[in-house]
Amino acid sequence: MGEFELIRRHFQRPGVQLPADVSLGVGDDGALLRPRPGHELAVSTDMLVQDRHFFASVDPAALGHKALAVNLSDLAAMGAVPLGFTLALALPEADDAWLSAFARGLFALADANTCPLVGGDTTRGPLNICITVFGQVRTGRALRRSAAHAGDDLYVSGRTGEARLALEHQRGTDWASAATGVHLRDRLERPSPRNALGVALASVDGAHAAIDLSDGLVGDLGHILAASGVGAELDVALLPVAPEIAALPEAHRLECLLAGGDDYELLFTAAPAARDAVLAAAVTSQTPVTRIGRITEGNGLRLRGAKGRPLSLRVQGFDHFA
Ligand code: ADP
Ligand code: MG
C-alpha cells in the first residue's frame, strides 16, 4: 500500500457529506473553510508522540479518539464551535488493521462533533500524530486565559484525577493497584471533551476566562492567574471527587485531584451575577459544573482544606522540559 492508497483507503470518505462551513476537504492542495460572517477562526494544534503521550501497546481506536479529543478540548476552552481538522501522521509502517482501528476511533468522535477531517500529511517515521483543529466563535466572544477578574467565581466541569489514577494503575504504582475498571481506563484513554459546555459559556455574559485541564488543575489554574494578573482561592473541599479517588490516602488523593493531568475538563471563571446563566449553560450542555473558589486581587493561589483551613502543598503542573 503506497502513501496515496493509504490516504484514499483510510482518510478519504467520499460517501460522507461535508457540513456547509467546509467548501473543500481532503484531496486538493488545501482545504477551504467558510466561517460564518461575524465570527473569528479559532485554531489549535496538539501533537501526540509515542512513549511520551501514549504507549505503543495502546488500542489504536482509543488513540484515534484521544488524538482528536485533546484538540477538541482546546476549542471547548475557547468557546469555539468545531469546523474541521487536519491530521499530520508519521507511521513506522502501513499497517492496515492498525490504521482501520485508528480511523474508526478518530471518525467516531469527529462525526459526533460535526468536525470533519479536511486534510493532512502522511510520512514514514516514528509514530507521531499531530492534529490541528479549526473552529469558529462569534467575534469578541472567545473565552481567554487572560480574562479573569478579581471577584469572579471559579468553576470546574466534571471531576478531576481519574485519568491520573488510571495512569498510575497502568504503571503498576502500588497505591493505585486497586483502581481497576473500564470507567477509569476510559477517563485516561477516551476523554470526552467539553465542547457543548464551552460553546454555551461563550454566550454567557459575564463568563470570562477558561482553560482546559491537560496538565493538572493547579498548574493550569496558574496559567489563568498569570495571564490575567490575578490570584485565587481554591476550596479543595468543594472539588467533586470520584469514589475511587476518595478511597485514596490523603496525599495521593490531593495529587490526583490537584495535579492529575489528562482530565480534559474545563476550568473557568464568571462574575457572581452570571451564576444563574452558568447553571443554565451546564444544564443545556448536560455537563456537571461545580463552583470551587474565587478569583482575588493580587497574585498567588491559596488552597483551603476542610472547614476553610489553609492548606499548603507543593503541586506542580506537568512540564515536558522540567
Ligand atoms: P501535497 O503534496 O500537496 O502536500 P499530499 O500528497 O501530501 O499533498 O496529500 C494529498 C492530499 O491528501 C491532500 O489533500 C492532503 O490534505 C491529504 N492528506 C494527506 N495525508 C492525509 C491524512 N493523514 N489525513 C487526511 N488527509 C491527508
Ligand atoms: Mg503533503
Residue 25 Cα: closest atom of ligand 1: 14
Tens-digit pLDDT profile for residues 227-261? 999 999 999 999 999 999 999 999 999 999 999 99
| Nearest CA, atom 9, ligand 1 | 121
- Arithmetic mean of pLDDT, 160-186: 94
Edge-to-edge strand list for the sheet holding 128-138: 39-49, 128-138, 81-91, 117-124
| Nearest CA, atom 2, ligand 1 | 29
The CATH number corresponding to 3-138 among 3.30.1330.10, 3.40.50.11540, 3.30.70.100, 3.20.20.150 equals: 3.30.1330.10
**Ligand 1 pocket member 12 (CB < 6 A):** no
Q: Do residues 219 and 315 make contact, with C-beta atoms less than 8 angstroms apart?
A: yes
What percentage of residues in the chain have a pLDDT greater than 90? 89
Say what the pLDDT of residue 146 is.
98
| Domain definitions of the chain by residue range | 3-138, 145-310
**Ligand 1 pocket member 297 (CB < 6 A):** no
- Arithmetic mean of pLDDT, 175-190: 93
Q: Do residues 266 and 210 make contact, with C-beta atoms less than 8 angstroms apart?
A: yes
| Nearest CA, atom 20, ligand 1 | 121
Say what the pLDDT of residue 76 is.
98
Ligand 1 centroid to Cα of residue 305, in Å, is: 52
Helix, strand, coil percent values for the chain (each to nearest 5) = 40, 25, 35
Say what the pLDDT of residue 180 is.
87
- Which residues have CB atoms below 5 A from the ion given as ligand 2? 121
Q: Which of 6, 7, 22 to mutate to test the pocket of ligand 1 (most atoms within 8 A of CB)?
A: 7
Strands, E assignment, 139-181: 153-157
Residue 8: pLDDT over 80: yes
Tens-digit pLDDT profile for residues 129-166? 999 999 999 999 999 999 999 999 999 999 999 999 99
Q: Do residues 239 and 292 make contact, with C-beta atoms less than 8 angstroms apart?
A: yes
Tens-digit pLDDT profile for residues 255-294? 999 999 999 999 999 999 999 999 999 999 999 999 999 9
Say what the pLDDT of residue 311 is.
84
Residue 317: pLDDT over 70: no
Q: Which ligand is located closest to the Cα atom of residue 28?
A: 1
Domain at 145-310: CATH code = 3.90.650.10
Residue 117 Cα: closest atom of ligand 1: 25
Say what the pLDDT of residue 312 is.
77
Residue 322: pLDDT over 70: no
> Residue 266 and residue 163: Cα distance in Å, rounded?
15
**Ligand 1 pocket member 129 (CB < 6 A):** no
**Ligand 1 pocket member 68 (CB < 6 A):** no
Tens-digit pLDDT profile for residues 37-48? 999 999 999 999
Ligand 1 centroid to Cα of residue 134, in Å, is: 17
Ligand 2 centroid to Cα of residue 119, in Å, is: 9
Q: Which ligand is located closest to the Cα atom of residue 4?
A: 1
Q: Which ligand is located closest to the Cα atom of residue 87?
A: 1
> Residue 170 and residue 97: Cα distance in Å, rounded?
24
Q: Which ligand is located closest to the Cα atom of residue 131?
A: 1
**Ligand 1 pocket member 121 (CB < 6 A):** yes
320 pLDDT band, cuts 50/70/90, is: low
Tell me the average pLDDT of the chain: 95
Going from the C-alpha of 243 to that of each of 64, 127, 159, the distances in angstroms are 29, 36, 11
pTM: predicted TM-score of the whole model, two decimal places:
0.95
- Arithmetic mean of pLDDT, 205-223: 97
**Ligand 1 pocket member 110 (CB < 6 A):** no
- Arithmetic mean of pLDDT, 305-322: 70
